[in-house]
Amino acid sequence: MIFVVLLAFIGVAHAQAIEPMPFANHAQELRFQHLTRQLRCPMCQNETLADSNAPIARDLRNQIFRMMQQGKSDEQIKQYLVARYSDFVLYDPPLSARTWLLWFGPLLILLGGAGVVLVAIRRRNRPGSSTEAPADKGPIDNGDDW
């Protein structure tokens, strides 16, 4: 029973942590939600600005809202945030010389692992390089019968 009450309290506290914004219309609210889901919280590395409760995420959401009220486009807002926090703030960073490892690093690691496995298999199957122990021929007969 106490566990259920605790879960309900945590849910209410989380719901109140992200404050509502006074949007002019539903389209503006949808635009804001779409934009904040494309941006990463600089503090909580695996959360979007829309989902994060960190103080910096709250400040950035307010900044985005103010910029939207000033008539800035989504691209202008993203450029502003990238100028301050680098491409890291984008959940889908552009392919560039600085981000090629981010895009292709997992593939390179996978190919490297596959190469190691292939080399190990070829070495094991190479003729003349038997890894088996010699067959046991039984006790050595030296001619002594005691």
10-36 pLDDT tens trace: 554 444 455 677 777 889 999 999 999
Helices (H), ranges, the chain: 2-17, 26-37, 55-69, 74-85, 100-125
Confidence (pTM) = 0.56
Q: Which CATH class is domain 17-89?
A: mainly alpha
Q: Are 49 and 64 in contact (CB under 8 A)?
A: yes
| Rg of the chain on CA atoms, in Å | 31
Structure tokens at 93: 């960073």
Cα–Cα distance, 114 to 110 (Å, whole number): 6
Burial class of residue 40, CB neighbours in 10 A (0-12, 13-18, 19+)? buried
Cα–Cα distance, 14 to 125 (Å, whole number): 59
Domain spans of the chain, in order of start: 17-89, 95-125
SS (H, E, C) 18-58: CCCCCCCCHHHHHHHHHHHHCEECCCCCCCECCCCCCHHHH
Cα–Cα distance, 34 to 78 (Å, whole number): 12
67-122 pLDDT tens trace: 999 999 999 999 999 999 888 888 777 777 777 777 788 899 999 999 999 999 99
Residue 129 clears pLDDT 60, i.e. is over it: no
